């Protein structure tokens, strides 16, 4: 399968070659022909599958072939849940469209409206917006959506999670009925289906990952630990390979800030990214992380959505998310586009229930092992009410791991003392890649 065979224009093929993309990812191969045909599309694809290019490429092709924009009205609207995702989609559109003359702009909150108004007045073909700020512009009549031919809802499930349904409905009501609608979502949750039924026209469906699954190239590790020792265990895990870029998840903004202070006091270069930070601070933290100026980025769930970091070798859950689905979103930051990744969770006794939910959802192995010196005083309760199973023999530490020596628990997946099947380890050692894309 090649990009040529999907029917993309030479100007796009040239840009893809310059990006170093050799062949389409599965969601691109499935979605691009459908979008080029002009059909509505409902796609289940997570971040990391190449979903952005799956809509951006045919969108650019459509815009480049259409009539010259004489009215300066925008012809396409991409809605995203977060500012970071909007900025990332914009970057991708610019990279793929660099040999075309397509104007685009982002519209999101946290920055002043003036420059956005000026860009809209000058005229653009594509708007990439978060719903709240777009509504502000609609109210100020600084945006005209009557010429929209293509609407993309990116990470629609997350937009609904964040309470954007009323905003979405208002925006949809302002768009021409005659249009193409493309909806991307990590899962086809019932609410997503309902949205599609209401606002789409006979959508074709593409699904590249089974609902609620994570990349099979990701291995999952849990280290049981007392809550009070978590910060030191985190330092210990990070110290195993301090050159690597590591994304650490914290459940709360306050917790993220506290953790960064702790890491900095221990001599690590870290920054936090969460909703209380200004847009500038978030952009700077992300840029510093990508450039390697900081090695640890501590993020909350919502802030981490949509940040574009390629092939992170490791993601650490300092605490588990309250909702199991968020674990899937978090882990989407590692093992992307076929690279191997590792998810390490530091889990206290109190979080046993959350871990049980995640195991139920994942349907994938999670290796559970103590780290020497950090053994918890209370065991995890993995099978509601059941005592912790007998422990196996201490295993030598497989190379390429960030942890200390392990004493594996029974994972109830039949691996006994082995954390991972041997094949997983071999593959990981062979294919270790550099950390983040600059
Ligand atoms: P996305 O799922 O859109 O966030 O894309 C994940 C990452 O994969 C992005 O950094 C893209 O630049 C990259 N990517 C997308 N399509 C391809 C492709 N066909 N080949 C290689 N990398 C790709």
Helix axes 279-291, 83-96, angle to 10 degrees: 60
Hey, what are 154's tokens? 């990116």
Hey, what are 246's tokens? 């590591």
- Confirm or reject: Cβ of 25 under 6 Å from ligand 1: yes
Please give the model's pTM, rounded to 2 decimal places. 0.58
Mean pLDDT of 15-31: 91
CB neighbours of 273 closer than 8 A, spacing ≥ 6?
Answer: 256, 282, 285, 286, 297, 298, 299, 300, 303, 304, 307
- Confirm or reject: Cβ of 47 under 6 Å from ligand 1: yes
Mean pLDDT of 206-235: 81
- Confirm or reject: Cβ of 337 under 6 Å from ligand 1: yes
Pick the CATH number of 218-387+395-405 from 3.40.30.10, 3.30.1490.120, 3.40.190.10, 3.40.50.300: 3.40.50.300
Substitution candidate for ligand 1 out of 15, 25, 45, 95 with most atoms within 8 A of CB: 25
Mean pLDDT of 133-156: 97
Does residue 308 register a pLDDT over 70? no
Q: What was the pLDDT predicted at 68?
A: 57
Q: Where does CATH 3.40.50.300 sit in the chain?
A: 4-207, 218-387+395-405
- Cross-strand bridge partners of residue 317: 249, 345
- CA 19 to ligand 1: nearest atom: 12
Question: Cα separations (Å) of 339 from 49, 167, 332, 435?
Answer: 11, 36, 12, 11
Band of the pLDDT at 348, cuts 50, 70, 90?
Answer: very high
Domain 4-207 has CATH 3.90.870.40: no
Residues 39-49 pLDDT 10s: 999 999 887 78
Q: What was the pLDDT predicted at 313?
A: 78
- Measured in Å, residue 4 CA sits from the centre of ligand 1 at 17
- Measured in Å, residue 140 CA sits from the centre of ligand 1 at 36
Does residue 399 register a pLDDT over 70? no
Of the listed ranges 100-109, 251-260, 359-368, 398-407, the one predicted with least confidence: 398-407
Does residue 83 register a pLDDT over 60? yes
Does residue 338 register a pLDDT over 60? no
- Confirm or reject: Cβ of 330 under 6 Å from ligand 1: no
Q: What was the pLDDT predicted at 383?
A: 74
Band of the pLDDT at 214, cuts 50, 70, 90?
Answer: low
Residue with tokens 């193409």: 180
């Amino acid at each position: 399968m090649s990009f040529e065979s999907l029917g993309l224009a030479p100007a796009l093929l040239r840009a893809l070659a310059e990006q170093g993309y050799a062949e389409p990812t599965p969601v691109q191969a499935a979605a691009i022909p459908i979008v080029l045909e002009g059909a509505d599309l409902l796609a289940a694809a997570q971040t990391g599958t190449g979903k952005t290019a799956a809509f951006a490429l045919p969108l650019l092709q459509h815009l480049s072939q259409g009539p010259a924009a004489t009215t300066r009205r925008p012809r396409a609207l991409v809605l995203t849940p977060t500012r970071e995702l909007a900025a990332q989609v914009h970057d991708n559109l610019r990279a793929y469209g660099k040999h075309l003359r397509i104007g685009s702009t982002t519209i999101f909150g946290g920055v002043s409206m003036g420059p956005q108004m000026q860009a809209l007045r000058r005229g653009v073909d594509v708007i990439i917006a978060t719903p709240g700020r777009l509504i502000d512009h609609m109210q100020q009549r600084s945006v005209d959506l009557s010429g929209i031919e293509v609407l993309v809802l990116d990470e629609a499930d997350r937009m609904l999670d964040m309470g954007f349904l009323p905003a979405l409905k208002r925006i949809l009501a302002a768009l021409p009925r005659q249009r193409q609608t493309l909806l991307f979502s990590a899962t086809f949750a019932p609410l997503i289906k309902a949205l599609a039924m209401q606002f789409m026209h006979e959508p074709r469906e593409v699904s590249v990952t089974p609902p609620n699954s994570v990349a099979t190239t990701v291995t999952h590790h849990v280290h049981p630990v007392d809550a009070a020792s978590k910060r030191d265990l985190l330092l210990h895990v990070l110290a195993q390979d301090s050159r690597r870029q590591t994304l650490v998840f914290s459940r709360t903004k306050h917790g993220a800030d506290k953790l960064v202070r702790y890491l900095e006091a221990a001599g690590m270069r870290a920054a936090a990214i969460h909703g209380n930070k200004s847009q500038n601070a978030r952009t700077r933290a992300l840029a510093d992380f990508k450039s390697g100026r900081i090695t640890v980025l501590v993020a909350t769930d919502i802030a981490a959505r949509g940040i574009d970091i390629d092939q992170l070798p490791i993601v650490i859950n300092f605490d588990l998310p309250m909702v199991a689905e968020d674990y899937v979103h978090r882990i989407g930051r590692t093992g992307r586009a076929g690279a191997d990744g590792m998810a390490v969770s530091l889990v206290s006794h109190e979080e046993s229930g959350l871990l049980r939910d995640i195991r139920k959802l994942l349907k994938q192995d999670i290796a559970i092992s103590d780290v020497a010196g950090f053994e918890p005083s209370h065991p995890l309760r993995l099978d509601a009410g059941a005592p912790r199973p007998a422990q196996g023999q201490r295993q030598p530490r497989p190379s390429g791991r960030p942890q200390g020596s392990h004493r594996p628990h029974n994972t109830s997946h039949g691996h006994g003392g082995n954390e991972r099947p041997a094949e997983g380890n071999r593959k990981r050692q062979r294919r270790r890649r550099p950390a983040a894309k600059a």
